[in-house]
Structure 1
């Protein structure tokens, strides 16, 4: 097997290409094509989540116009006796669980966090696709780490270290990124199963609708219903209905 060239910009890819050449000689292209497809899918998901509307709260007249156009995501109807607070920054009526993002300059429905990786907020509309993106990223990183490891041939010599320094650095970087993505994916799955967000989990003592609630989590409807509502529901949720209904239940 040919060793990776020193000073290359992507030693992992070169290590993978050496395996690809061996498989090309055998006529085995399934795994290389699958890996390239996963990388391409990961890139496309990154741009999709980055450019997607995370659930920006629209002014009342824009929301009505959007409903008239027949959107696939129907804006929820809030009961008339429930008063929505008005955002002090963009002056729109802010639904429950929405938060104003200083970086995006918009209020976001079911605000989770602003992700610097995608340079966009993660909210009610793009959070499910964000989870798909993390899952694909994890598979690509695990596979890439395995490829990098298989390209290493350990020898106790300075010359070997000079020729493999970039491949070693790539391997350790991919291990770090794999751990980060894995922890991020597991933590998000846990929060989703509890029907809470990163912002609510970190700042529950400062959020009025959680601080004044008799229930620890007024939005938790059980793991199965929480997961179904998150991954399968195509409509925005009027969280005010769930909140006040749960508050009226006996504790």
Structure 2
């Protein structure tokens, strides 16, 4: 899926927005399928409708009111779910907020293309570094109650690779804040691993191996984008409120 994702990011509006919505709608269904399998399709439809309205509003103007449709849809979904309400609320807010953060970064930030590609490469470097260092070094487990294979060595390796990618991107884009971006990249690597562990914990709670089988041989969209989901909102905060810039 990497060429599709990169192509959509490069093309910008409306293609990136369409990709975000499709991925988010699929992830909403997967999340709700685990929490309330008998009502997942209907509830995911409600949550996706709220996200669609919010994304349209954000495409017109970057106002805080874009969150209103998401909040309304989340409340409807929680009330109608009848069970697992805290987890249902978490998913109905977490996924749309991540999508809106990514949309804002791409559509409204002057360096939107570069920022999104930076975040993509940071998450990919984190996953690759964590896997390589974890396999090569092994050692103490990071959070065996959620994911028995993740190690502290893997986390540190993921952080190092993410920091290196951040430094390279700043260097090639002509930026000056190499240390700031490297540290931010390493911090986002931790956030990506937290997102990965959170999704693993959710699957363990409901006794499923994959969030779905929508991607043959690779599980579901949540399985592939769990780290990205957690990174987008945090990246939005540090970029919007702390004016972090790549160049």
Normalising by structure 1, report the TM-score.
0.33
Larger helix proportion of the pair: 2
Ranked by relative contact order (alpha carbons within 8 Å, sequence separation 6 or more), the top structure is: 1
